[in-house]
């Protein structure tokens, strides 16, 4: 790019790029970790797993920016820092989220990526996981909870989680098997692991919303209870929710039996999910 052209673009393009980069930083990068570990377990080099790992973090970051908007969860803090619409403004938040979603698909379609059939499979499955049948559908159901007369049943809360957080975590967990073009059993083991982990993760989020410390969490706590929103904790009680999460982590660990000791790192991650304080 010539200096003259760069001058034409700046500074608004810079704001957009800064907001995108800001939203990508400071998280646990659990989903990227799942992709890299799933790849390693399926003997795929980390080079080939890097684009999917970045792509899933882009989707996750975009979803957080949009979830935090005033017309959605209206949050001021995320990971201990001002949310994008608070640090910049609402239109920058909408557009940075939009561009991060686009960036995810761009990353999956690079010429130096894995073979094209695998790339297409990753694009298709990520779009399925992130779209109206997956994450966005779950988010729509979740936000609609606040205007309902009757709180969601336990089954409906599971359905929200299945879309809102479960779909991306399952995609991340299974991505190594897709990259390796592994057999169905390998894919199914990781999918089962991802499904249990995702559910345990959400239950633990609900636990932290009650027991957590706002400072350690880097975001507001007690919001769900304040709004009278049905959660795993409101249905099962604190002890019941913790027990359910622990049982899911056990199921997640044994789902990886076919990977033997190669699955130890993911088993450790599952145990971490229900011990974390943020």
Residues that bind its own copies (CB under 8 A): 5, 8-9, 12-13, 15-17, 20, 62, 66, 69, 71-72, 89-92, 94-95, 97-99, 101-103, 105-106, 108-111, 113, 115-117, 119-121, 123-124, 126-128, 130-132, 136-137, 139-141, 143-144, 155-156, 159
Q: Is 221 helix (H, G, I), strand (E, B) or coil?
A: coil
In the bound state with its own copies, the residue whose beta carbon lies nearer, of 39 and 130, is: 130
CB 51 → its own copies: shortest distance, Å?
A: 11
In the bound state with its own copies, the residue whose beta carbon lies nearer, of 92 and 267, is: 92
CB 181 → its own copies: shortest distance, Å?
A: 13
CB 74 → its own copies: shortest distance, Å?
A: 10
Q: Is 28 helix (H, G, I), strand (E, B) or coil?
A: coil
In the bound state with its own copies, the residue whose beta carbon lies nearer, of 19 and 273, is: 19
Smallest CA-to-CA distance from 121 within 48, 175, 170, 46 is with 175
Q: 245-251 contacts: CB < 8 A, separation 24 or more?
A: 245/199, 245/200, 245/203, 245/204, 245/207, 245/273, 245/274, 246/274, 248/196, 248/197, 248/199, 248/200, 248/203, 249/196, 249/197, 249/200, 249/273, 249/274, 251/192, 251/196
How far out from the chain centre does Cα 261 lie? 26
CB 237 → its own copies: shortest distance, Å?
A: 23
In the bound state with its own copies, the residue whose beta carbon lies nearer, of 10 and 258, is: 10
In the bound state with its own copies, the residue whose beta carbon lies nearer, of 66 and 170, is: 66
Cβ-based neighbours of 154, under 8 Å, separated by 6 or more = 232, 235, 236
In the bound state with its own copies, the residue whose beta carbon lies nearer, of 126 and 252, is: 126
CB 83 → its own copies: shortest distance, Å?
A: 14
Both tokens assigned to 189? 């083991």
CB 106 → its own copies: shortest distance, Å?
A: 3
Distance CA 129, CA 45 (A): 24
CB 125 → its own copies: shortest distance, Å?
A: 9
Q: What angle do CA 195, 228, 204 make, to 5 degrees?
A: 30
In the bound state with its own copies, the residue whose beta carbon lies nearer, of 88 and 259, is: 88
Q: What angle do CA 155, 160, 161 make, to 5 degrees?
A: 95
């Amino acid at each position: 790019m010539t200096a003259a052209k760069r001058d034409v673009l700046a500074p608004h393009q810079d704001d957009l790029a800064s907001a995108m980069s800001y939203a990508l930083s400071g998280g646990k990068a659990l989903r990227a970790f799942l992709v890299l570990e799933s790849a390693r377990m399926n003997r795929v080099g980390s080079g080939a797993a890097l684009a999917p790992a970045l792509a899933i973090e882009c989707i996750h970051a975009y979803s957080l920016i949009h979830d935090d908007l005033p017309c959605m969860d209206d949050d001021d803090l995320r990971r201990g820092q001002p949310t994008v619409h608070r640090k910049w403004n609402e239109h920058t938040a909408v557009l940075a989220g939009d561009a991060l979603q686009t960036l995810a698909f761009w990353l999956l379609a690079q010429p130096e990526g894995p073979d094209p059939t695998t790339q297409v499979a990753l694009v298709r499955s990520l779009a399925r996981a992130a779209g109206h049948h997956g994450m966005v559908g779950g988010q729509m159901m979740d936000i609609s909870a606040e205007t309902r007369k009757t709180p969601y049943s336990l089954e409906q809360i599971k359905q929200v989680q299945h879309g809102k957080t479960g779909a991306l975590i399952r995609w991340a967990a299974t991505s190594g098997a897709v990259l390796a073009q592994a057999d169905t059993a390998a894919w199914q083991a990781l999918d089962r692991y991802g499904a249990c982990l995702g559910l345990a993760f959400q239950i633990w989020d609900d636990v932290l919303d009650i027991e957590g410390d706002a400072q350690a969490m880097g975001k507001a706590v007690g919001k769900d209870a304040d709004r009278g929103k049905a959660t795993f904790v409101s249905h099962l009680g604190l002890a019941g929710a913790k027990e359910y999460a622990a049982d899911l982590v056990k199921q997640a660990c044994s789902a990886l039996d076919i990977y033997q000791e190669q699955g130890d790192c993911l088993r450790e991650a599952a145990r971490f999910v229900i011990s974390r304080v943020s």
